Structure 1
């Protein structure tokens, strides 16, 4: 098989890759999108059965196609995958599925990249890494493997019925951890939930969804996270029509709430004494958004209903006033630990000087210091919304424009007038 040559190669056919393909196509730039699985594969095979989008369908979409469901609904994972497949067809995205990128290496002495794939070799002038922020599941090395306890990342969880009998410990207080814990508890399981620092926005306030408030308050367009919040998880959910995550009420309903899981020895987990501090900080972030929303209504004169009951914070349950500091897995009958602890980047196939010492991409608005190499879909790539469905579309347009601009420079021929 001979060497294939292309102007631009896009790696990944999730939301970032499909958006990039749309903009490259509009600019008339020849390109190919390679996807090791199917379009939107992670939505299909790396999420639990009942997952829905965390934002309503009117907002969490690309500008040129609406979801078939009602705009205020939260699309389920199958609908999201179908949406991106339909969108790829609409924009005639040249996607090749079932192709794994094995190595991307800058060419020696000339512009471009050699790309080794499971289906042959490609030479590309530009490469766009659109593999997104959810690449490699991160499980802290706390509990050693044991036949007595099944451990899995949230990407491997599907539903309560497939888990072994017994209680379940969910580690992680973000959207995934909160939703999985609630689902397991509703299914009749004894559930423990270990949470760390988090933001806890309201699902809705004064008749408007959280995403609307983030938009009108300019929060989606924040270009850098506030100091100390770079890695803070966000507890928000679209499950069951969308409800505000309230850990205190979850505890009152019977979920065993814990601080951060910090260690393990002889079948016993060590739990930090930080539960109340984490809850209080989450409440502070929640109330600060309500304050900002009220100020916005007062300033603009919008006719939105008052909602004083939203400011009622439940009393601390016993698990907060008398926190658990150690958890004996056998004594509590825990047969499963689900780690909802996020992801790490995995660019082992990228053989270019484009990553920092932690393995994170070095870039400015997605433009790598390596000529011709770009990124799409990174957290905070240009703003808070960059890694969300609606936000990645705008970042992808910027990257496509940069590729067109570079092609324009390369097409220049000096002429003496």
Structure 2
């Protein structure tokens, strides 16, 4: 059966057709829609819940964006009502993405879940199976991002008599049962959650692993500005062994530098990485001091790079010598706890701030490694016609941030346009007869390299 016959058959069957199906209407899917629309590429964005659903329901109540409003947004729209150097709340960010969709008049369909993506039989492209019917598309963009499946390590069995939840399920201290809390994971989420619970009057243990710890601001500039001018957002690959190292930084309470010494002074007990659970006793690696030391080195190293940049460029920015001074080492670091009887310590809750895992089990295409990770180059999958967007380190360090995913979406839209231009090329023998020769589309020829 020819491709044309297959397409006619599908039309008779009432199957919708479009050039691109974008899956997910979070920051990645919305950015993708903007760039596809600018290039005149027909597409639809499918979202199983609401626009920016993870900002609404998979965050704690007091969460704010980790970057200031001048930076953590798309280029085409400011976050109205939030000062440039302020940090937008999670609810304001959800409304921002809704406003962006309205501004674009983007073809977003909510409440539509994609259940499968398969290669078409007897035709080009893919069949996207959804709860609202099937759609055939030449290209599919999985814009579901990095926050798909909460990842909880199999350390504590569910029958251990402890209240266990992932950080995405945490909303406020009052939802937790009485008692002390162990927070596992000291990235931005774990640190902010631990501090909030401690301020609510609970005893808190915080399990600290490897992390980057930049200053919230230094010499009058936010850390996002420093990573920008120093070229650190553009790092193409993480340092060896740092693929999963998180950035410990907070926009809470107007924004502040994460300081583990200060957390300990405020009453949070720091422990090393959580390693095992046996008979009601939690065990921790003896790596707390080393993890803190490396985080300090990352912090001080950025200050030094910033000072060198200021001197080299002759900038008039206020000096901040006190930022280089580290506080005293608390006893929980110098004499770390290696095992903790949770019942004796009164711990009734464990919050796993341990990140997320990808789940592409619904994509039945040849675009994955054996462990399920996408096989791609800058989001262009090994399976022709499949694209990924919103992955950590997709093209650079900033890829999973709002502004970073916008730039990655632009690259993918250009890639799709180039492929479309190849497919629309015809030889004189294939072209229909015309009494007047037409001028070749110079822009399409240049973009494809075909002549």
TM bucket, shorter chain: over 0.9
Partners of 2:122 and 2:372 in 1: how far apart? 26
How far 1:21 sits from its partner (Å)?
Answer: 0.4
Q: Distance in 2 between matches of 1:330 and 1:208?
A: 45
Deviations 1:59-100 (A, max 9, x none): 000001000110100000000000000000101110000111
Find the aligned partners of 2:276 and 2:122 in 1 and give their Cα distance: 51
Q: Does 1:317 align with 2:330?
A: yes
Distance 1:100 1:171 in 2: 32
SS of residue paired to 2:343: coil
Residue 366 (structure 1) aligns with: 379
Q: Which has the larger radius of gyration?
A: 2
- Give TM-score scaled by structure 1 length: 0.99
Structure 1 residue 346 corresponds to structure 2 residue 359? yes
Which residue in 2 is equivalent to 1:41?
53
Aligned equivalent of 1:177: 190
In structure 2, the partner of 1:100 is 113
RMSD: 1.1
* 1:126-183 superposed Cα distances (whole Å, 9 cap, x missing partner): 1001000111110000011136310000000000011100011000010000000000
Match of 1:400 in 2: 413
Aligned-partner SS, 2:20: strand
Contact 2:160 2:280 in 1 (8 A): no
Report the counterpart of residue 17 of structure 1 in structure 2: 29
SS at match of 1:331: helix
Distance 1:222 1:324 in 2: 36
Q: Does 1:124 align with 2:165?
A: no
Distance 1:391 1:273 in 2: 36
Task: Give the Cα separation in 1 of the matches to 2:306 and 2:122.
Answer: 56
- Gap regions ≥5 residues in structure 1: none
Specify the alignment match of 1:166 in structure 2: 179
Q: How many aligned positions are there? A: 417
Q: CA deviation at 1:109?
A: 4.8
Moved over 4 A (4+): none
Q: How does 1:15-414 map to 2 (within 5 A)?
A: 15-68=27-80, 69-146=82-159, 148-414=161-427
Matches of 2:122 and 2:294 in 1, distance apart?
53
TM-score, length-normalised on structure 2?
Answer: 0.91
- Secondary structure of residue in 2 paired with 1:72: coil
In structure 2, C-alpha distance between the alignment counterparts of 1:15 and 1:399, rounded to whole Å: 15
**Contact kept in structure 1, 2:47 and 2:109, CA below 8 Å:** yes
Secondary structure at the residue paired with 2:168? coil
Checking the alignment, whether the CA contact within 8 Å between 2:117 and 2:127 is kept in structure 1 is yes
Structure 2 stretches lacking a partner, 5+ long: 1-12, 430-436, 438-451
Q: What is the rounded CA distance, in whole Å, between the counterparts of 1:10 and 1:227 in structure 2?
A: 33
